[in-house]
A and B are shown apart, each in its own frame.
Chain A
Amino acid sequence: MALRKALTPLLHWFRTRFGHVPVGAWLLGAAVAAFLERLLGPDLAYLLGLGSVPAIFGLSIILKTPSLIPSVLVFVVLMYVIPTLVVAWLSRALFLWWEEQLSVPVYVFLHVLFLFLVLYFWSQVDPYRLLVLRLLGINILLTLSLNLVNGWMGEFSVSVAGFMSVGAYVSSVFMVWGFVHDDVFGPPVFPEFLAPFAFPLALILAGAVTAVTALLVAVPSFRTRGDYLAIITLAYVFIVKSTVENLDFIGGPRGFMNQPEVASFTVVFIWTVLGIWVMWNYVTSILGKATNAVRDNESAAEMMTVDTRKVKIVAFLTHAFWSGVAGGLYAHVLGYINPSSFDLRKSAEILGMLYLGGLNSVSGSIVGPVLFMFLTEILRPFQLAKWLVIPVILIYAMIRRPRGLMGFQELRIPFLTRRQQAKEEARAYGVTGN
């Protein structure tokens, strides 16, 4: 309470000064801050006695050695807060001008580009950050694709770990067979320098194969819903795990390694953005909204000419495709997979991110994994405690907000909302126009 009282004037000052600064300017500010950190971060950290650049804003350092709090605070203020505020403030006019001049797609693209720069510079400082960010992208893909089935279609599927597993193994086998000198698969079939170019193909192949295997759960969904479908998806996870364990040429329970290093941060970022864009398009189209109709009342959907079987197939297969792609990325980010990396606990983790972020919400599927990973990474030094704290937080979140943080709503991005309103007014008065 006292903290809130102390912060109120600060917040007020912030809101009056920076309230109208556009999102893009903030992103630019953050990008500059991240770039500066890359240049000066190690030296500043050394001067402040931090040893190395604090990986995640120094939060795990604070938890581990509280005596370093002042140094961390100074570092964060100097390295992040001041550059971001200054640059955001200075560049606000530029972005407001762009907002008027540029078309929506170009303007959105600009934001994505700046976001990429922020993350790219930030990840260059520390290989650990690089790993975390890539896993975050993968988790967003998994959560969002799962949201299609659990949120938009209202089923309870737990098969995401199984889908991931299929995608991971298919892409790994393809890449190792094609581009790596391997004990089992022999010399590479294609020249090794082609590997990065073939990786998208490998991922699409992985997604496609995963989607085909997903028919195992999609077809029963015609006749059964709810708990029983959940069990079928559960059985799928066990079947995939057990099958992989029994296939000796991909290492069985020992696992599979030697994946070429093709999943750089840029690659993961592009696939994540692509996945979000594609799934966003789908759920905002009328074709995609029919998925909601199937959830809310299946028989009414049928009567209103919706081919509910097709809708279900598409939802499950899209879920499977993108989970397969994410699995492929995962395998190449880690460079090693084994069947137990894809057990029910993996599914539970993704479900945790999903329900934390909220059902039926694209932004929820981004917020959920970000928050979840933020927590897990801060707690990483505490190893076991991580899995004691995360369940408690999730249970608390479920009790306080059973629909998750963003359930059934989307984050409002100011400039998009403004455009939307203008369009809506035109429509409401019956004026058609694009």
Chain B
Amino acid sequence: MALLEIRNMTHWFGGLRAVYNFNTRIEPGEIRGLIGPNGAGKTTVFNLVTGFYTPTEGQIFFLGREITGLRPHQIGRLGISRTFQNLRLWTHLTALDNVKIAYYSQIRYGLIGAFFNTRARREEEERIDHEARQLMRMLDIDQYAHRVVSGLPYGIQRKVEIARALATKPKLLLLDEPTAGMGPAEMEETMAFIRRIRDQFNLTIWLIEHKMKFVMGLCGWIQVLNFGEIIAEGPPEEIQRNPEVIRAYLGEMVEL
């Protein structure tokens, strides 16, 4: 059974067709790429999968269960998490709090516990604190735990965002341009990092990227989106040679 299956997904913003007849199956353990020129609708696909928009037509299945029309936090609970194109950290909070809040759905005390500081709450907070620190240690960001995130370097903020996404215990992680604003050296490092977390956390990863080299080196299967439609898909070598892809990217040849 596929981890994620999307059938004939179409989305309209008013009179504008953002995504048209999108189909895909993502198998467990894959690193999947979604590429395309600016404004092709890549982020919209992610927003549809994670429930920020409900598709006008079509269905989305996760682990065989239909998730079309669920709200994002419900989808998040089922095991899909993501990062955002422009970091969306909770800027007034510390890195540790950013990670801890992502455990929200796993908290085993209720409002009574929150208001009256029950024993159950103290134990549970201790457990989450421990887990969150462990997670941060695995990503080498534990030394920033008590720093307010808005003051952290950009690269660290990216990692905090990934740690936060991992805290929800996802099976499928969507990364929206994980290398935005990075130089070539950091890119290499990020590729290794993504492979590592895939193995360490048993993840399936679906990423949007602009930098061809990055996608080609990392993904086993790539889909190319243009004007909301898939114009090509296949393994990296094939995509690189595909004339339609080259045409779609003509304006952005520099990036190839």
Interface residues in chain A, defined as those with a beta carbon under 8 Å from any beta carbon in chain B: 278, 281-282, 285-290, 292-293, 295-297, 299-308, 314, 360, 408, 424, 427-428, 430, 432, 434
Contact = CB atoms under 8 A, between A and B. Distances in A.
Contact of B125 (A286, A295, A302): A286
B114 A306 contact: no
B241 interface: no
B73 A289 contact: no
Interface string B100-133: 1111110101010111110001100110111001
Task: List 7 A-B pairs, minimum CB-CB distance, nearest first.
Answer: A296-B90, A305-B105, A300-B88, A302-B72, A305-B76, A304-B102, A285-B114
B114 A288 contact: yes
Given A289-B100, A303-B72, A304-B101, 12 more contacts: A281-B115, A282-B114, A285-B114, A286-B103, A292-B92, A303-B73, A304-B104, A305-B73, A305-B76, A305-B168, A360-B92, A428-B142
B215 interface: no
A304 B168 contact: yes
A305 B134 contact: no
A281 B114 contact: yes
A281 B116 CA distance: 6
B101 A286 contact: yes
B101 A306 contact: yes
A408 B92 contact: yes
A299 B52 contact: yes
Nearest to A152: B92
Nearest to B72: A302
B111 A314 contact: yes
Nearest to B77: A305
B101 A428 contact: no
Nearest to B50: A303
Contacts of A308: 73
B143 to A, nearest CB: 9
Contacts of A286: 100-101, 103-104, 107, 125, 128
B203 interface: no
Interface string B27-65: 000000000000000000000001110000000000000
Contact of B81 (A299, A301, A304): A304
B71 interface: yes
B21 interface: no
B89 interface: yes
A278 B164 contact: no
Contacts of A293: 90, 93, 101
A286 B111 CA distance: 11
Contacts of B122: 434
B101 A289 contact: yes
Given A278-B116, A281-B117, A305-B77, A428 B103 contact: no
Nearest to A304: B102
A307 B88 CA distance: 17
Contacts of B77: 305
Nearest to B123: A434
Interface in B161-202: 164-165, 167-168
Contact of B73 (A296, A306, A314): A306
27 contacts: A281-B116, A282-B115, A285-B125, A286-B103, A286-B128, A287-B111, A289-B97, A292-B97, A293-B101, A295-B90, A296-B92, A297-B88, A299-B52, A299-B72, A299-B84, A302-B73, A303-B76, A304-B76, A304-B104, A305-B73, A307-B73, A424-B146, A427-B130, A428-B145, A432-B126, A432-B130, A434-B126
A305 B164 CA distance: 11
B91 interface: yes
A279 to B, nearest CB: 8
A307 to B, nearest CB: 5
Contact of B88 (A289, A299, A314): A299
Contacts of B210: none
B121 to A, nearest CB: 6
Contacts of A278: 115-116
B159 interface: no
A300 B76 contact: no
B93 A302 contact: no
Contacts of B93: 289, 292-293, 296
B158 interface: no
B168 A296 contact: no
B177 to A, nearest CB: 15
A311 to B, nearest CB: 9
Contacts of B51: 302
B11 interface: no
A296 B164 CA distance: 15
B57 to A, nearest CB: 23
Contacts of B91: 296-297
Nearest to A431: B130
A287 B107 contact: yes
Contacts of B73: 302-308
A304 B165 contact: yes
Contact of A297 (B90, B103, B104): B90
A105 B89 CA distance: 34
A283 to B, nearest CB: 9
Contacts of A285: 113-114, 117, 121, 125
Nearest to B82: A303
Contacts of A432: 126, 130
B187 to A, nearest CB: 24
Most buried by A among B73, B100, B101: B101
B81 to A, nearest CB: 7
A282 B115 CA distance: 5
Nearest to B137: A430
A428 B105 contact: no
Most buried by A among B50, B77, B92, B129: B92
A288 B97 CA distance: 11
B146 to A, nearest CB: 8
Nearest to B116: A281
A281 to B, nearest CB: 4
A360 B114 CA distance: 17
B73 to A, nearest CB: 5
Nearest to B150: A296
Contacts of A289: 93, 97, 100-101
A303 B81 contact: yes
Contact of A292 (B90, B126, B134, B164): B90
